[in-house]
A and B are shown apart, each in its own frame.
Chain A
Amino acid sequence: EIVMTQSPATLSVSPGERATLSCRASQSVSSNLAWYQQKPGQPPRLLIYGASTRATGVPARFSGSGSGTEFTLTISSLQSEDFAVYYCQQYKNWPPNTFGQGTKLEIK
Chain B
Amino acid sequence: EVQLVESGGGFVQPEGSLRLSCEASGFTFSDYEMNWVRQAPGKGLEWLSYISSIGSTIYYADSVKGRFTVSRDNAKNSMSLQMNSLRAEDTAVYYCAKGGRSTQLQPFDYWGQGTLVTVSS
Contacts and interface: CB of A to CB of B under 8 A. Distances in A.
A46 B107 contact: yes
A94 B33 CA distance: 14
B44 A87 contact: yes
A98 B105 contact: no
Nearest to B112: A43
Interface residues of B, number: 22
B104 interface: yes
Given A91-B104, A92-B105, A43 B111 contact: yes
A27 interface: no
A55 B2 CA distance: 14
A89 interface: yes
A55 B114 CA distance: 21
B108 A46 contact: yes
Interface stretch (B11-19, B45-53, B74-82): B45-53
Contact of B113 (A43, A94, A98): A43
A63 to B, nearest CB: 16
A100 interface: yes
A55 B108 CA distance: 11
A97 to B, nearest CB: 4
A96 B108 CA distance: 14
A77 B18 CA distance: 44
Nearest to A1: B62
Interface string B95-117: 10000000011111111111000
Nearest to B62: A96
Interface string B11-36: 00000000000000000000000010
Contact of A97 (B35, B95, B109, B112): B35
B88 interface: no
Given A91-B104, A91-B106, A100-B44, 7 more contacts: A45-B111, A92-B105, A95-B61, A96-B61, A96-B62, A99-B44, A102-B44
Interface of B: 35, 44-47, 50, 59-62, 95, 104-114
Across the A-B interface, the 4 shortest Cβ-Cβ residue pairs:
A34-B107, A43-B111, A97-B47, A95-B59
